[in-house]
Structure 1
Amino acid sequence: MRDVLRGRFIHDIGDGTITSAWFDEWNDVEPLINIVRLCDIVNGGMLLTDQVCDIIDQAKWRWPPDWVDRYVILNNLAPPVLSINSDMVMGNDIAGNKCVFSISHVWEYLRPHAPIVEWYSMVWFSQCIPRHTFVDFVLLVSPFAIRNVARIVVIKLLFAASIYYVWQERNRRLFKKGNRSAMQLYETIYSTVR
């Protein structure tokens, strides 16, 4: 998962107090831990827990002078200008537009995309009862059209409740050796939808 998301998000430096100096992607190159050896970080008097603000002093890098010769790529890395704003994690949405990080953007990037199936509205609708929709989903119900919207909602609820409770009754009879009468089943469905 980490390899899939690597490079998708970058820290926009504000005050530098949230972003890890070594492990987060905040510069145009890559995380500094991929450039500077771990032993050099420790021997240079730096800590692995340093934030970006910890390795900058008066708009200059705080790392040892010999790093500039040892790690030539650091010569081209200008220290970010720290501000009073907080650091922000930025990323790209599914369309490639730059945006503030959110879990919903990660989900949209990672989830498989497929066209909406024709029975979608029969199973998932705003008045649905969640525990009923799973059984509906499993059975892949096809929707049917009725003109009156109120009737559609009631029929969908009745349909979903009926499937759920009939399936529940089936399991009860198979595994618990108990059963309800047809009238008791009807009353249960009716009271749920009502």
Structure 2
Amino acid sequence: MTSHIWAILNNRESLWVKWVYDYKLKGRSFWDIPLHSGVSWGWRKLLQLRPNIRPHIRSQIGNGMDTSIWFDSWCPSSPTIQHVTPRAIASTGFSMQNTVADLYENGEWKFPVAWYDLFPVLISLPSLHLQDRSDSLLWRDHLDRDMNYSSTNVWDTIRHKGNVVTWVNLVWFPQCIPRHAFHLWLVMRKKLKTQDRMKYWDAGSETNLRLMCCSFCQRGLDSHSHLFFECEFSSLVWNEVKSLADLQHLPNQWEAIVSWMIAQQQQNTAQIIIAKLVLAAVSYFVWQERNNRLFSTKKRSAMALVEVIKYTVRLKLLSMRFKNTNRVQHLLEKWKLPRRLTFDNG
């Protein structure tokens, strides 16, 4: 939507932009168009975006002929329509369509002298050096840096930014399996709909949460910590696969596992990549098996689940290449992978 606005402000050569200028703007500034009821959905969305993006669109003055003196942002005090009333503009003989070039001549502004008392902000308007080139628009990011327009820059500027989490590279890394990574993201944020969280919800009279229990061991409510991997079933699965990533030294406690993995997550070694793949795969398939047992009659044994995890991770490893080191050879042998997956260090 911002790209459409950018096309309008730049008067891009297109049939749609010409139609907007003829039938929507009709000689007025895009920033000055009122939002009436009954307008089309698309046009309404464009107009509603103006407060969000207006602080980030700046006009770089060239000859001053394409920049509105009243409505565009071209200096720290602009847009000047915030300070000068339309009545004053009309009574002085100026027009709402005036450009910067219209009111600047021979290094001086053409404002009436009385305006400097009525609108003191005009005193701070800068002196300009008009040049023989067209005005241009720049995108200003949240750090007040001017840059060329791109969808990437716009999104990075206007999106909501949360605090950087310590586990980001544990969940999202180039070799991750996307569906596993998304699930692990939910686990890290403790957003899975486990029974310990559901008991605080209004489940209705037909649901007796006191009868709910872990679908694996039938001992108490399942929770993030119980499922990963304090439950006897999931603990057995974890114990069977963690040695394949040289993680046999880690306990069956989620917080301890994650703490160790976070400390190692920046490393790009084969062992750490495999460890992250294994952790995500185990949590994904344990959760999948938990849901199968709750909502269907399907059941798999712990060893069957281990085989699915090994098969899935092995397929991912077959698409990767590793440096030819003794440690890598050791890991490849554990996963029964061919030597051709390695390449010389040089």
192 and 12 in structure 1: CA distance in 2 versus 1, 3 angstrom threshold: farther
1:133-144 matched pairs, under 5 angstroms: 133-140=181-188, 141-144=258-261
Gaps of 5+ in 1: none
Query: Which structure is richer in relative contact order (CA contacts within 8 A, separation 6 or more)?
Result: 1
- Where 1:68 maps in the other structure, the secondary structure is coil
Moved segments of 4+, more than 6 Å: 2-9
Write the distance in 2 (CA, Å) between the matches of 1:10 and 1:148: 42
Write the distance in 1 (CA, Å) between the matches of 2:293 and 2:89: 67
82 and 91 in structure 1: CA distance in 2 versus 1, 3 angstrom threshold: same
40 and 163 in structure 1: CA distance in 2 versus 1, 3 angstrom threshold: same
The answer on 1:159 being equivalent to 2:208 is no
Structure 1 match to 2:223:
none
165 and 180 in structure 1: CA distance in 2 versus 1, 3 angstrom threshold: same
Is the CA contact 1:10–1:24 (under 8 Å) kept in the aligned structure 2?
yes
Whose radius of gyration is greater, 1 or 2?
A: 2
- C-alpha root-mean-square deviation of aligned residues, in Å? 4.4
- Please state how far the C-alpha of 1:160 moved relative to its aligned partner: 0.8
- Where 2:77 maps in the other structure, the secondary structure is coil
Structure 2 match to 1:111:
161
- Where 1:157 maps in the other structure, the secondary structure is helix
Is the CA contact 2:63–2:101 (under 8 Å) kept in the aligned structure 1?
no
- Where 2:276 maps in the other structure, the secondary structure is helix
82 and 170 in structure 1: CA distance in 2 versus 1, 3 angstrom threshold: farther
- Please state how far the C-alpha of 1:178 moved relative to its aligned partner: 4.2
Structure 1 match to 2:86:
38
The answer on 1:60 being equivalent to 2:105 is yes
TM score, norm. by length of structure 2: 0.40
1:168-179 matched pairs, under 5 angstroms: 168-174=288-294, 176-179=295-298
Equivalenced residue count is: 180
158 and 90 in structure 1: CA distance in 2 versus 1, 3 angstrom threshold: same
- Please state how far the C-alpha of 1:55 moved relative to its aligned partner: 4.6
Structure 1 match to 2:147:
100
Q: Given residue 182 of structure 2, which amino acid in structure 1 is its aligned partner?
A: F
Structure 1 match to 2:253:
none
Write the distance in 1 (CA, Å) between the matches of 2:105 and 2:287: 69
Q: Which has a greater percent of helix? A: 2
Of stretches 141-150 and 82-91 in structure 1, the one that deviates more from structure 2 is: 141-150
Structure 2 match to 1:27:
75
Write the distance in 2 (CA, Å) between the matches of 1:163 and 1:100: 43
Percent identity of equivalent pairs: 30
Gaps of 5+ in 2: 1-49, 189-257, 316-346
- Please state how far the C-alpha of 1:121 moved relative to its aligned partner: 3.1
Q: Given residue 142 of structure 1, which amino acid in structure 2 is its aligned partner?
A: S
